[in-house]
Amino acid sequence: MWEISDYLFADSPPEAVSLMRQGPGKGIYLAGGTDLLLNPPECDFVVDISRAGISNIARTPGGDVFLGAGVTLQDLATNELVTSFAGGELSRVASQCGNRPVRNLATIGGNLCNARSSADTAPILLALDATCFITDQDSQESLPLDDFFVGPQQTILENRLLVGLALSAEVSDRRCASSKLICRADNMALAHVAVGVDCREGRINAARIALGAVAPIPLRATLAESTLDGFDINSEDKETLSEMICDVAELAAGEVDPIDEHRASSEYRRDLVRVLTRRLLEKVLAEIAAESALNDGGQS
């Protein structure tokens, strides 16, 4: 039984923060409730944000895609702006979270704000360089999702509200892929990897390797990423490319800090990072090479 003294509805983001700050006692925001109702935290009151007007998906005038924090995973899985963004990898990830009744309630904001290292939307959003919008009572802040997670189950928010995320138009054609291995007993990821690559005329000009469930927080393997910068995928023979991918995967595996527990050993999770990173990079770079060969063929 969850013992709370008050259940309040916020009609706007600033009102939500104001209610949270008013007290008395400790409050908690509630979005879809799929995490909170399973593991009710100790608190005195709840601020329900489902009516705060943050459930929209929209194209901004600059061409970015804005995702309100209250957007459900089911909306992410089906909305046309999301299914057509960067090959629709975010939609695919969302469509595989939980089951349909859970996805109908669960929000993208709740997935990120519970700050579990295994949160499924975090790696692909990191691979897409998502920007977070955070509101206080009378101010707003935006920051890279990279800076959002600060410790185990801890975000930079404190009592502030995550209003939404933006995906820049600049990454709308980023070639992405992601993969996770789950523990069958509880469906939680043992390791989750997402990669994203931008290429111009065969040369990599941005690479992202984002990891979940293998460190206290979701994170990017920045050392491994930087090894890919400037690499010309067309000028190298297959063997060199394959060696380079193995080296990058090895570096990514060295950047994680997995826990050792009953579901999987730390070494097993590290191995998963190595294998998944290699496979995803092979897939993405092969797709880019095939597309560039097709374009060259069309021009000749």
Contact segment (CB under 6 A) with ligand FAD among 17-25, 101-109, 218-226, 247-255 equals: 101-109
Does 33 interact with ligand FAD (rule: CB under 6 A)? Answer: yes
Does 114 interact with ligand FAD (rule: CB under 6 A)? Answer: yes
SS3 string of 88-146?
Answer: HHHHHHHHCCCCHHHHHHCEHHHHHHCCCCCCCHHHHHHHCCCEEEEECCCCEEEEEHH
Residue of 20, 30, 77, 224 interacting with ligand FAD (CB under 6 A): 30
Does 35 interact with ligand FAD (rule: CB under 6 A)? Answer: yes
How big is the site for ligand FAD, counted in residues (CB under 6 A)?
30
Does 105 interact with ligand FAD (rule: CB under 6 A)? Answer: yes
Query: What's the one-letter identity of residue 253?
Result: A
- Report the C-alpha gap between 239 and 219 in whole angstroms: 29
Contact segment (CB under 6 A) with ligand FAD among 3-11, 144-152, 154-162, 279-287 equals: 154-162
Shortest Å, Cβ 16 to ligand FAD: 8
| Phi, psi (degrees; rounded to nearest 5) at 178 | -145, 160
Does 119 interact with ligand FAD (rule: CB under 6 A)? Answer: yes
CA angle in degrees (0–180, nearest 5) for 134-116-68: 35
Does 32 interact with ligand FAD (rule: CB under 6 A)? Answer: yes
Does 110 interact with ligand FAD (rule: CB under 6 A)? Answer: yes
Instruction: Look up residue 210 and give its two tokens.
Output: 């984002």
Nearer to ligand FAD among residue 156 and residue 206 (C-beta):
156
Shortest Å, Cβ 35 to ligand FAD: 3
Shortest Å, Cβ 139 to ligand FAD: 15
- Report the C-alpha gap between 233 and 248 in whole angstroms: 14
Q: Which DSSP symbol is given to 42? A: P
Shortest Å, Cβ 101 to ligand FAD: 8
- Report the C-alpha gap between 293 and 268 in whole angstroms: 37
Closest CA to 15 of 163, 187, 132: 163
Site string for ligand FAD, 210-249 (x = CB under 6 A): ----------------------------------------
Nearer to ligand FAD among residue 68 and residue 87 (C-beta):
68
Q: Which single residue brings its beta carbon nearest to ligand FAD?
A: 110
Nearer to ligand FAD among residue 114 and residue 172 (C-beta):
114
Q: What stretches of the chain show up as alpha helix (H) in DSSP?
A: 13-22, 73-78, 80-83, 89-95, 100-105, 108-113, 121-127, 222-228, 238-254, 266-299
Asked if the bond preceding 218 is cis, omega within 30° of 0, the reply is no
- Report the C-alpha gap between 63 and 50 in whole angstroms: 26
Nearer to ligand FAD among residue 64 and residue 120 (C-beta):
120
* Binding interface with ligand FAD (CB under 6 A): 28-36, 38, 49, 69, 73, 97-98, 102, 105-107, 109-111, 113-114, 119-120, 157, 161-162, 187
